[in-house]
Every structure is written in C-alpha cells, then in structure tokens.
C-alpha cells in the first residue's frame, strides 16, 4: 500500500484521502492501484455504506496524473508503461462511475486531469471557494481523457468544447453553474459535512450537503456563454479559429491566441473525441475509445515536446508536429482513433 493514499473507515463512510502534497496529489500508478483495491474491497463491505474522496493536506485536490512518468515512458520504453498507467487509471475511473454505493468527492482545490477523472464519476461533487477545475491537456499535447470526452460533451451548449480546447480554469461557482459540481460549500464547513455523512443515513447525503451549501458569487464563465456558444459552435478547429478571428473583441482575440498556443493535433483530437463520445450510450465504450487515443497520442511527438516546454524546461515554446491545424489530416485522426488489436483493447475491471 502506498503512503500517498490514506484510507480509513469512520462511522459507515469509507474515506480515501489523497496524500501526495508535494505534487498537489497528482496520481501515480501506485495510488491508482491503492484506490482501486480499497474500492473493490469496500464494494461488498457491510460496514461501508458510502465513499468520501478528499485530500489530506495542501492546496490541491488532485492536479492530474504522473506526467513525468508518462513522458519518460514515451521517450524510453515506447509507451509501454504509460499505456499500463492509462489502462489501470481508466479502470479506476469506470469503477467509480459504476460504483453501487454513493460517492462524495470534495474538490477543495486544484482539480485537473486525473483529478477530474476521480471526482466527476461521483454522485456528489462538492466545490468550494478553493476549487480550480480544468482539463489543460491541449497545452501538453495530450487530450482531455479520464472520461473527459463523456463529461465535457454532455455539458450545455458548447462550453465543453471550449474547456477541452482552451484548458480554461473554472472556479467553484462556475463548476456549480455548469453542473460539474453538485453543491457549493464553504471550505470551513467541509469537516462538518464529512462528519455528518459518516454517521447520518446515507439517503440524507444530498440533504446534508444542501443544508451546508451557500449561494456562490457570480461566475465569470456564465457571463461568456453567449460568445462560447457562438464561436465554438463548429466541430472543425479551423472554423472555430476563423470565427474568433472575425471578432475584434478582447475576449475573442485572447481566446484565439490561447488556441494558437495549443497542440493543433490535440485540439482536433479533442473535438472528434467529444463528438464521438456524445453518440455513445455506455461509459465503458467511452473509456475504450479514450484508451485507443491515449495509446497513440502518448508516443506521438507532441506529448513529449509539450511536457518538455511546459513542465521540464518551462520555456513555454513547444514546437508542435504537425505545426498547423490544416496539417492535422482526417487520415491522421483516423489512425489515432482506430481500434486496437483485440487483445490490447481496454476493458473494465
């Protein structure tokens, strides 16, 4: 059992606390396995009637996955260990999505990438004034995985496409407004919420959270929904850029500049991913699709280069390959989305 996950039972609540503060609780493969093992064990436990996922200390809930590990895999073992990480992480995501007992995720802090993957499947998703939600993968040549295709494609209007492409950070009020959070509670009330959830009837969880919830301040993202729905209406990346370029407002120019800093490959992958996910009826099918994408994108040039530019060297000057949106062809996308050999396809636990 890794030290980076702390588990305990209080009352009838099984509590999983992420405990890797030096990395804002970013998930390692050991953490994924530890969470999966305890969730499988608690699934049939008569003592555990609900699950709480939170973080032990520090300002992040969960800042994502182990990006350094994934880049090392891409550069040194042809992506083998990286694919294992994605495979097992996606099994954890699916386990949470289908879990038979109520799950409450406290997104009190930075909730990005892998943190989205373990909070969005929860029946109850609590945002606070500290929440910063984002899927920033286009900036490192990855894509909004861990179920991102499923969750983002099902948000109202085109805000999911906006979040997938820009990697915009959404604060707690915005999470509530968009449906990414089920409740907005001040962080000072979280200890009370957890204590009550652990002892009161599990049918009362919604009521407990509702009693402690407050009206959040206005959300900035809500104020821009008209522009988002207008400019991000197309599933073609070039058309989104053209729409923004034709608008001389500060907002449009800023978003156009943001998009041009991202991996063109990733942006096109994300748009197709969300469009395809919306056609699916089953979350497992979505995860199988995302695993196919991850298996290919991991070893394509943009991922190692994006991590180098943003995280390793921090020069924020990635050299994308292909460099231009028009050079990311439909044929290239077809190879990224193509089925894997039958014995390599992703399957749920």
Which one from 4, 108, 145, 255 is the annotated catalytic residue?
145
What burial letters (b/e) apply to 120-151, b meaning 16+ CB within 10 Å?
Answer: bbbbbbbbbbbbbbbbbbbbbbbbbbbbbbbb
Let me know if 200 is a catalytic residue.
no
Is 302 assigned a catalytic role?
Answer: no
Report the 10 Å Cβ neighbour count for 249. Answer: 11
Active site residue 65: yes
Contact 43, 100 (CB under 8 A): yes
Distance (Å, whole) CA 200 – CA 244:
51
Q: Output helix, strand, coil percentages for the chain, rounded to the nearest 5.
A: 55, 10, 35
Q: Residues 66, 89, 137, 255: which is the catalytic one?
A: 137
Q: How far apart are CA 1 and CA 308, in angstroms?
A: 31
Q: Which of 60, 65, 139, 149 is catalytic?
A: 65
Tell me which DSSP letter residue 312 carries: I
Is the separation of the CB atoms in 43 and 56 below 8 Å?
A: no
Backbone angles phi, psi at 52, to 5 degrees: -115, 130
Residue from 274, 280, 277, 240 nearest 256 by CA: 240
Peptide bond into 322 cis (omega under 30): yes
| Selected catalytic residue, list 64, 113, 114, 148 | 114
- Rounded-to-integer distance, Cα 97 and Cα 154, Å: 15
**137 tagged catalytic:** yes
Residues involved in catalysis: 65, 114, 137, 145
């Amino acid at each position: 059992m890794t030290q980076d996950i702390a588990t305990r039972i209080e009352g009838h609540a099984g509590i999983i606390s992420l405990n890797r503060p030096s990395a804002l609780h970013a998930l390692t493969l050991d953490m994924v396995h530890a969470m999966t093992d305890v969730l499988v064990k608690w699934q049939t436990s008569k003592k555990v009637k609900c699950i709480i996922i939170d973080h032990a200390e520090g300002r992040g809930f969960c800042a994502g996955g182990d990006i350094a590990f994934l880049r090392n895999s891409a550069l040194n073992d042809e992506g083998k260990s990286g694919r294992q990480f994605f495979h097992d992480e996606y099994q954890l995501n699916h386990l949470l999505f289908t879990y038979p007992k109520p799950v409450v995720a406290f997104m009190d802090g930075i909730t990005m990438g892998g943190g989205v993957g373990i909070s969005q499947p929860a029946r109850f998703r609590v945002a606070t004034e500290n929440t910063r939600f984002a899927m920033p993968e286009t900036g490192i040549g990855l894509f909004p995985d861990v179920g991102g295709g499923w969750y983002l494609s099902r948000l109202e209007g085109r805000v999911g496409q906006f979040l997938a492409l820009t990697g915009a950070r959404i604060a707690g009020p915005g999470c509530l407004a968009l449906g990414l959070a089920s409740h907005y509670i001040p962080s000072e009330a979280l200890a009370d919420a957890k204590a009550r959830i652990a002892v009161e009837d599990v049918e009362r969880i919604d009521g407990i959270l509702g009693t402690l919830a407050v009206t959040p301040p206005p959300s900035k993202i809500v104020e821009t929904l008209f522009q988002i729905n207008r400019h991000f209406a197309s599933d073609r990346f070039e058309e989104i850029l053209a729409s923004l370029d034709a608008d001389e407002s500060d907002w449009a120019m800023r978003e156009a500049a943001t998009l041009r800093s991202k991996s063109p490959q990733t942006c096109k992958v994300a748009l197709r991913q969300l469009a395809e996910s919306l056609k699916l009826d089953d979350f497992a099918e979505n995860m199988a699709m995302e695993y196919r994408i991850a298996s290919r994108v991991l070893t394509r040039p943009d991922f190692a280069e994006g991590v180098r530019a943003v995280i390793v060297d921090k020069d924020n000057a990635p050299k994308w390959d292909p460099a231009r949106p028009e050079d990311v062809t439909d044929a290239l996308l077809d190879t990224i989305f193509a089925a894997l050999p039958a014995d390599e396809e992703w399957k749920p636990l």
